[in-house]
Chains A and B, each alone.
Chain A
Amino acid sequence: MSLRSGPRTLARANGSIFGTIRRISGINAVRTYANGTSNGKEDTTHFGYKTVKKEDKEKLVGDVFSSVASSYDVMNDAMSLGIHRLWKSHFINRLDAGMRPGSNRALDFLDVAGGTGDIAFGLLEHAQKKYNDTSSTMTVADINPDMLREGEKRYLNTKWNDGSDRVKFLVQNGEIMDQIEDNSKDVYTIAFGIRNFTNIQAGLNTAYRVLRPGGIFACLEFSQVENPALDYIYQAYSFSLLPLMGQLIADDRESYQYLVESIRKFPKQEEFKGMIEKAGFYVPEKGYENLTFGVASIHIGVKL
């Protein structure tokens, strides 16, 4: 993989971190996690394959998503060959959430890192179609105002914009969620977002905090392909073609380089399951469902 070169505008954007960048070459680099300390120091985390100060990561991720916000969906389609739509619709169908007929309380959904709103609208659509649920509420939270604006723009043209005020958009840091009360939500979904948290465990703990007892934490995230042969092909594809596509379609190689590196850095299925349990959730047997050989996986936690 000789694709490690190229202009690194992101790194330059914050000159002070330039010195702390630790290049890890090759795709089988040592895996370090958000709340782990890659080199013994307490105050660093990873940003793709780079090691950056914890307080900088939020800004760096923010830059990535601000720069991709407008072309986010086009790029997703191009990179995953449209498969991300199948994953998302599978995720929504598996959750099968919604207020059942005859129930006395509507559900409160919270879609975190929900930016463009496709999961949020998908969940509402499913609940209405299958259970005729027209009263459950949806809160879309995202740390990035640019991404959230894309979602709001789209919301204005959907049938959910009917004056009933069921859908709310909030700029919120998923690790803190200061505007969301304890025990106030029933379904917490996060699709392709938790990877970008500076401290994943803090995000999970917050998810546990905001859910009511009986609430569900559901996470759709890139994961690790278990079959080594397929993994080789997948790695070759993601490290060579994805940044190139980013360059050609969105004119932004750096952001997509970050994307593939952050996927590689995310904990493996079993490890992430352990983190969900650590946050206090009950995880049903096996704990996760792999999609497309493990390119992505669905994790579930139940707050009891």
Chain B
Amino acid sequence: MLKTPFRGFQAFRGGQLALNGLKNGVISTRLYHSRDHPSSNKIVDPKSVESVLLTKALEYIPQYGFSNACITQAIRELDYPDSIHSAISTNPSGNSPEFQLTLHWLKTQRQKLEQHILDPNSEYHKITDEYERVSYAIKKRLEFNEPVVGRLVGGISQLVVPYNIPQSLEELHNLSDDIAFYAGDMSHDFAWYSKRVGFSSIYVSSELYMLQDSSDGYRRTKNFVDEKVLGLKGLGSAYNDIEEWGIFNAISLVNMIKSQLVRG
């Protein structure tokens, strides 16, 4: 959750800071910034065997659902012998092939979203408001679900198997971290956490809403997302307002006590 994804447009800042630090003879800043190492930030490594097989298998999800059959079909299509199944089934992570396929699906979709956001021509850059950007990103990500929406329940049930939950949550929070970061979240206090948790819960509830949505182009789901994000924004403002009111009253109280004491 605390990992910093690759920030294309700020790629060299960390490196320069580190260099400046060294020039002054003092190491004034961290020397490692993950954004300086784009290769270590790849969400999916396109070259590994597992990823080649699973990426091919994604094509069969609309047909077979999030099941082993997709992998079998992909192996056949890529003209590998059946023995290479073991490369997936023995994966040291201990995840079942179905769960690996589901995670791979989530990761590739997150990567697709990131590429969309980093594309200089995407509509994303016309939006300036932080929360509108969040809303746009969530809706975009939900759009990627459309081809498999009928099979999504199978995937979600993989994610909520108790021993899979830690990895599922990690992937979910990586998604909300990306959404918050690219939207321009600059918070460095408790809001950093509450925003991410908020976006995660909005994403999950919208995805569940989407499963039941029969409206054209998932219009109702999109309204739902907008509404929820506005709600979170409102919650943020309400929190800030209450905080401000509280601090004002606390200071007033201190001042009042002081003035009473001065009077003797």
Interface of A toward B, CB cutoff 8 Å = 94-100, 102-103, 105, 107, 186-187, 212, 214-216, 218, 282, 284-289, 298, 300, 302, 304
A187 with B83, Cβ < 8 A, contacts A284-B49, A286-B93 known: yes
Task: Choose among A105, A187, A212, A282 the residue that contacts B86 (Cβ–Cβ < 8 A).
Answer: A187
- Greatest chain A CB density within 10 A among B50, B76, B81, B97 is at B81
Interface of B toward A, CB cutoff 8 Å = 48-50, 72, 76, 80-87, 89-94, 97
Of all chain A residues, the one with the shortest Cβ separation from B81 is A214
Report B-chain residues with C-beta under 8 Å of the C-beta of A100.
72, 82, 85
Q: Cβ of B90 and Cβ of A95 under 8 Å apart?
A: yes
14 contacts between A and B (CB under 8 A): A96-B86, A96-B89, A96-B97, A97-B85, A186-B81, A186-B82, A216-B84, A284-B90, A288-B92, A289-B92, A300-B92, A302-B49, A302-B84, A304-B49
Report B-chain residues with C-beta under 8 Å of the C-beta of A285.
48, 50, 91-93
Q: Cβ of A103 and Cβ of B82 under 8 Å apart?
A: yes
Task: Choose among B72, B81, B90, B93 the residue that contacts A298 (Cβ–Cβ < 8 A).
Answer: B90
Task: Choose among A102, A282, A300 the residue that contacts B90 (Cβ–Cβ < 8 A).
Answer: A300
Q: Cβ of B90 and Cβ of A215 under 8 Å apart?
A: no
CB-CB nearest 9 A-B residue pairs: A186-B83, A96-B89, A286-B92, A216-B86, A214-B81, A214-B80, A289-B92, A214-B84, A94-B90
Q: Cβ of B87 and Cβ of A216 under 8 Å apart?
A: yes
Report B-chain residues with C-beta under 8 Å of the C-beta of A287.
92
- Greatest chain B CB density within 10 A among A98, A107, A186, A214 is at A214
Q: Cβ of B83 and Cβ of A289 under 8 Å apart?
A: no
Of all chain B residues, the one with the shortest Cβ separation from A185 is B83
Report A-chain residues with C-beta under 8 Å of the C-beta of B92.
284-289, 300
- How many A-B residue pairs lie within 8 Å, measured between CB atoms? 78
Contacts A94-B89, A95-B89, A100-B85 supplied; 12 other A-B pairs, CB < 8 Å:
A96-B86, A97-B85, A100-B82, A215-B81, A216-B84, A282-B49, A284-B48, A284-B87, A284-B91, A285-B91, A287-B92, A289-B90
Nearest CB of B to A212, in Å = 6
Q: Cβ of A218 and Cβ of B81 under 8 Å apart?
A: no
Report A-chain residues with C-beta under 8 Å of the C-beta of B86.
94-97, 187, 216, 218, 300
Report B-chain residues with C-beta under 8 Å of the C-beta of A186.
81-83
Of all chain B residues, the one with the shortest Cβ separation from A109 is B83
Report A-chain residues with C-beta under 8 Å of the C-beta of B90.
94-96, 216, 218, 284, 289, 298, 300
Report B-chain residues with C-beta under 8 Å of the C-beta of A300.
86-87, 90, 92
Nearest CB of A to B261, in Å = 60
Q: How far is the CA of A302 from the CA of B50 in the complex (A)?
A: 10
Q: How far is the CA of A289 from the CA of B76 in the complex (A)?
A: 27
Of all chain B residues, the one with the shortest Cβ separation from A211 is B83
Report B-chain residues with C-beta under 8 Å of the C-beta of A288.
92
Report B-chain residues with C-beta under 8 Å of the C-beta of A94.
86, 89-90
Report B-chain residues with C-beta under 8 Å of the C-beta of A284.
48-50, 87, 90-92
Report B-chain residues with C-beta under 8 Å of the C-beta of A215.
81, 83-84
Nearest CB of B to A69, in Å = 29
- Greatest chain A CB density within 10 A among B84, B91, B97 is at B84
Nearest CB of B to A182, in Å = 15
Q: How far is the CA of A68 from the CA of B80 in the complex (A)?
A: 41
